[in-house]
């Protein structure tokens, strides 16, 4: 059985080159930055909060990183585990937060930008506060 169907190709050197990295600029980064600026204005005027799901925005290669780099890092960071890790980081612009979630396999499941005074994930729901008050009262009465 013959395995070399093209014997004349055996002597031709083959060089494999990686394709050049193509930078595709969707144009969405400046639009997102302006949207965030308007959201910060609304937060200050009437307390309106705003959330952007970065996974739902069509961004070209490297654009999400460029956006996050532009927003920078602030002074506040919180990390917790609840069915996977979540990290909440203040940007260099107070009131603008970056929130990232991973599942238990450490795969990123979501990344959001939230414009608010305090991210919702850091706020205690009223039912939790009620339960905490009941426990504290019971402990003090105990």
Topology (CATH) of 28-127? Ribosomal Protein S8; Chain: A, domain 1 (3.30.1370)
- Mean pLDDT over residues 57-69, rounded? 95
What is the residue extent of each domain of the chain? 28-127
What pLDDT, in 10s, does the model give residues 72-94? 999 999 999 988 999 999 999 99
Query: Residue 23 pLDDT > 80, yes or no?
Result: no
Residue ranges in 47-99 assigned as alpha helix (H): 63-71
Handedness of CA 38, 40, 43, 46 (dihedral sign): negative
Residue whose C-alpha is closest to residue 115's, from 41, 29, 28:
41
The whole-model pTM stands at: 0.76
Which range among 2-11, 19-28, 48-57, 121-130 shows the weakest confidence by mean pLDDT?
Answer: 2-11
In three-state secondary structure terms, 36 is helix
Give me the pLDDT at residue 7, please: 60
């Amino acid at each position: 059985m013959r395995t070399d169907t093209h014997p004349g190709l055996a002597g031709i050197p083959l060089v494999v080159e990686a394709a050049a990295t193509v930078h595709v600029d969707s144009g969405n980064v400046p639009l997102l930055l302006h949207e965030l600026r308007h959201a910060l204005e609304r937060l200050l005027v009437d307390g309106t909060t705003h959330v952007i799901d970065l996974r739902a925005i069509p961004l070209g290669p490297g654009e999400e990183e460029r956006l996050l780099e532009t927003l920078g890092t602030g002074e506040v960071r919180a990390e917790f585990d609840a069915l996977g890790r979540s990290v909440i980081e203040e940007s260099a612009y107070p009131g603008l937060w970056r929130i990232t979630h991973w599942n238990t396999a450490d795969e990123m499941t979501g990344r959001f930008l939230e414009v608010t005074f305090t991210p919702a994930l850091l706020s205690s729901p009223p039912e939790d506060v009620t339960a905490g008050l009941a426990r504290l009262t019971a402990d003090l009465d105990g």
